[in-house]
Amino acid sequence: MMKCFTIFKDKSKSKKRRSAPQLSNHRKSDNLDLRRVSKSTDSYSSPRSIKEMYKEREQNLRDFSLFELREATNNFNRLLKIGEGGFGSVYKGTIMPPNGLGDSMVVAIKKLNTQGLQGHKQWVAEVQILGALDHPNLVKLLGYCALDGERGIQRLLVYEYMPNKSLEDHLFNRAMPTVPWRTRLHIILGAAQGMAYLHEDAEVQQVIYRDFKSSNVLLDKDFNPKLSDFGLAREGPTGGQTHVSTAVSSEMIKLS
């Protein structure tokens, strides 16, 4: 009985030793095939860079002359100034269609402070990013003006006009009417959708906003939120990179 038991036991071990390598090879082959499929899929769906997308869509932006924007703002009249910050000033203006026919359009015109190189870098970043991206919860860039003359450098941006100002105005300015909670939730959801588009859209490289704050959440006539001010935004990591170096430049949105 002992011999029979020993023989049975040895045969069992022998079978396991023979079958194990075959199973292992089969799994390696499967894993290799999966990796090949994964790499093929990744290369096929690899998002394009902001610069590549901008080159395709730059014709959608209007190249304004400085004369046109001076006319639109009554020579940058202080009474038409609707915002101001380290970047420069924003004016409410009225522009005509390129061919001069049709109705005029109310716009917001940002005149950048170009005392340093940083102002120009932020202007370029904003033109390229907003010129490449299109989403209901991102402010729409209509055009720009770039002029290097004897009187200095001029850098301006023209946006759709947001009549309900910013979320910051409604939260902290007591002169503004109180925003109902239903509207606040609508604003929060829209701002989150804008951020999700920047981070997850498969069409372009991930964009890191870097300036998410209540003053940069603008509101249209129906209180739909639009993320604005992309001068500090950067593209996310590409290729084998896992991160990019950025500095925190924002404040938390306060809802109470």
Residue range 69-90: mean pLDDT, rounded: 92
Are 81 and 89 spatial neighbours (Cβ–Cβ below 8 Å)?
yes
Which is the catalytic residue, given 10, 42, 103, 211?
Answer: 211
| Catalytic annotation present for 211 | yes
pLDDT reading at 227 higher than 80: yes
The pLDDT tens digits for 144-203 are 999 987 777 899 999 999 999 999 999 999 999 889 999 999 999 999 999 999 998 757
Give pLDDT, residue 57.
92
Supply the pLDDT for residue 241: 59
Q: Is 9 annotated as a binding residue?
A: no
In the prediction, which pLDDT does 65 show? 95
With b meaning 16 or more CB within 10 Å and e meaning fewer, what string describes 54-74?
beeeeeebeebeeebbbebbe
The confidence band for 111, taking pLDDT boundaries of 50, 70 and 90, is very high
Could you write out the three-class secondary structure of 156-205? EEEEECCCCCEHHHHHHCCCCCCCCHHHHHHHHHHHHHHHHHHHHCCCEC
Closest-CA residue to 139 (of 116, 96, 108, 103) = 108
pTM for the full predicted model:
0.75
